[in-house]
Amino acid sequence: MLEADISKKLKNFDLDLRFEAEDGCLGILGASGCGKSMTLKAVAGLVRPDRGKIRRDGSVLFDSGRGIDLPPQKRQVGYLFQDYALFPNMTVAQNIEAGLLRSRQDKSARREQVRRLICQFRLEGLENQYPARISGGQQQRTALARIFASDARCILLDEPFSAMDSYLREEMQMELARMIREFGGCMVLVSHDRDEIYRLCGRTMIMEKGRNVICGQTQVLFDQPRKLAAARLTGCKNISRIQKAGDYQIYANDWNVMLCTGTKVPDTATHVGIRAHDILPAAKGEDVPNRIRVLPAEQVTSPFEWTLIFQNREHPGAGIWMKSDRSQGQIPDEVTIDPSRLLLLEE
C-alpha cells in the first residue's frame, strides 16, 4: 500500500497530485513529460518534493510538515529504470548481489540467494555475463531480480518496455504480468502506452501536466473516461465540443451534427467522444439512430485494420475517424453510432 500526496515546482508546470496504490498494479497513464517519472522519483526518494507526504504500508517515507525525508536506501522502494540501469562493470550475478548488500548477510548466504533468484528469473547460464552482452529481455529480468534481491516492498516501473521492439515487448508484458501476480506488494507502472496499462494494471490513474485527472478501475476508466484528458489518453480518436440541445440530444460543434445520447446529458458535459471502432456502416433504409452521410477524405490500410477519415457530407467539419476490421474495407455511404457508445466528457 502506497499513499502519496506531493507537490513540487517544475520548470513548465507544477507537480501537484495525490494518489493511493493498493497491492497489485497501479498504472499511471500520461503523455510524455507530464511528470510521471518525476512522481516515481519522488516516491523512491531520488527527488525531494517541495511539500507533501508519502507513506508506504503505514510507515512514513516523507513528510514535509514533520521534517521527515528517508533516504532512498531506507525506503524499500524498488525502481526499475527505463534503461534498467544495470551496472556495466558487474556481471549478472554481481548485479543481483548488489541488491543484497543492504541485508548484511555473509557471503555464502548471499551466494545462495543469488542462485535462487537466477533460477526464479530464468537467467541460468548468464551468471558471468556482462549486461552489455545479454539481450534486452534478459537485462530487464536481471534488473527485476536485483530489485527482488533488495527486499523491496513496493516496485516502481518507469516505462519498462519503451526500449524494446514490439515483438519482444508483448512477450515481456506477459512475463511481467506473471511477476505482478507473484509479487505480494504494490507496484506502480508508468507509461504513455495505453495498451500496456490496460493489460497489466487493475487500477489506472490518468495524469496531465502534473495533476491526477481521474483514477479508477482500469476497465471502467477505458469504458467511461468521463474526463476529456482521460478520453484522449485512452485512445479516443474523435472528440468534439458540444452544445446541449435537449435532455438526450447534443450538437457536436466540430462535426456539425446532431447526436442522440443513451443517457441523460449532464449540464457539466463539454465534449463528446466517439471511439473510432464504434462508428459502423449503416445499411440503406435501415432505421438506426445517429446517421451521418459520409464525405470521405482519406483512408489508410494497415495489416489488420482499415482506417477511414471522413467528414459530414451535409455540413463538412472536422474529420471523423472510423476504424474497422480490414475485411470491411469499403467506404460506406452512411454510418451510424450507437447512442449508448457516446462518451460524454467534462473538461
Partner 1 sequence: MDLSPILISAKTATVSIVFTFFLGTGTAFLVYRMRHERWKILWDGLLTLPLVLPPTVAGFFLLYIFGVRRPVGAFFLEYFGVKIAFSWGATVLAAVAISFPLMYRSARGAFEQVDRNLMDAGRTLGMSEWQIFRRVLMPGAVQGLLSGGILAFARGLGEFGATAMIAGNIAGKTRTLPLAVYSDVSAGNMESAGRYVLVLVLISFIVVTGMGYATYVFQRFTRRENR
Q: Which is nearer to partner 1, 67 or 132 (CB)?
A: 132
CB 182 within 8 A of CB 215: no
When asked if residue 248 is in the footprint of partner 1 (CB under 8 A), the reply is no
Q: Binding string to partner 1 for residues 125 to 154, with x set by CB under 8 A, is what?
A: -----xxxxxxx--x------xx-xxxx--
221, 223, 224, 229 alpha-carbon torsion, rounded to 10°:
60
Closest CA to 342 of 201, 224, 198: 224
Helix 136-149, helix 166-182: angle, nearest 10: 20
Residue 322 sits at φ, ψ, to 5 deg, of -130, 135
Find the binder of partner 1 among 31, 59, 68, 83 (CB under 8 A).
Answer: 83
Q: Which is nearer to partner 1, 9 or 264 (CB)?
A: 9
Find the binder of partner 1 among 27, 35, 49, 99 (CB under 8 A).
Answer: 99
When asked if residue 105 is in the footprint of partner 1 (CB under 8 A), the reply is no
Find the binder of partner 1 among 75, 203, 226, 275 (CB under 8 A).
Answer: 75
Helix 136-149, helix 107-120: angle, nearest 10: 140
CB 183 within 8 A of CB 4: no
Shortest distance, CB of residue 102 to partner 1, whole angstroms? 3
When asked if residue 102 is in the footprint of partner 1 (CB under 8 A), the reply is yes
Q: Which is nearer to partner 1, 183 or 306 (CB)?
A: 183
Shortest distance, CB of residue 174 to partner 1, whole angstroms? 21
270-to-216, 221, 226, 320, 340 alpha-carbon distances in Å: 21, 18, 10, 18, 17
Find the binder of partner 1 among 10, 90, 258, 260 (CB under 8 A).
Answer: 90
Shortest distance, CB of residue 46 to partner 1, whole angstroms? 5
When asked if residue 109 is in the footprint of partner 1 (CB under 8 A), the reply is no
When asked if residue 24 is in the footprint of partner 1 (CB under 8 A), the reply is no
d(CA 153, CA 172): 22
* Cross-strand partners of 326: none
For 335, left (φ over 0), alpha (ψ -120 to 50), or beta? beta
d(CA 121, CA 117): 6
Q: Which is nearer to partner 1, 151 or 171 (CB)?
A: 151
- Other Cβ atoms within 10 Å of 84 Cβ, number: 19
When asked if residue 85 is in the footprint of partner 1 (CB under 8 A), the reply is yes
Number of residues that bind partner 1 (CB under 8 A): 39
> Rule CB under 8 A: which residues touch partner 1?
41, 44-46, 71-79, 81, 83, 85, 87-90, 98-99, 101-103, 130-136, 139, 146-147, 149-152
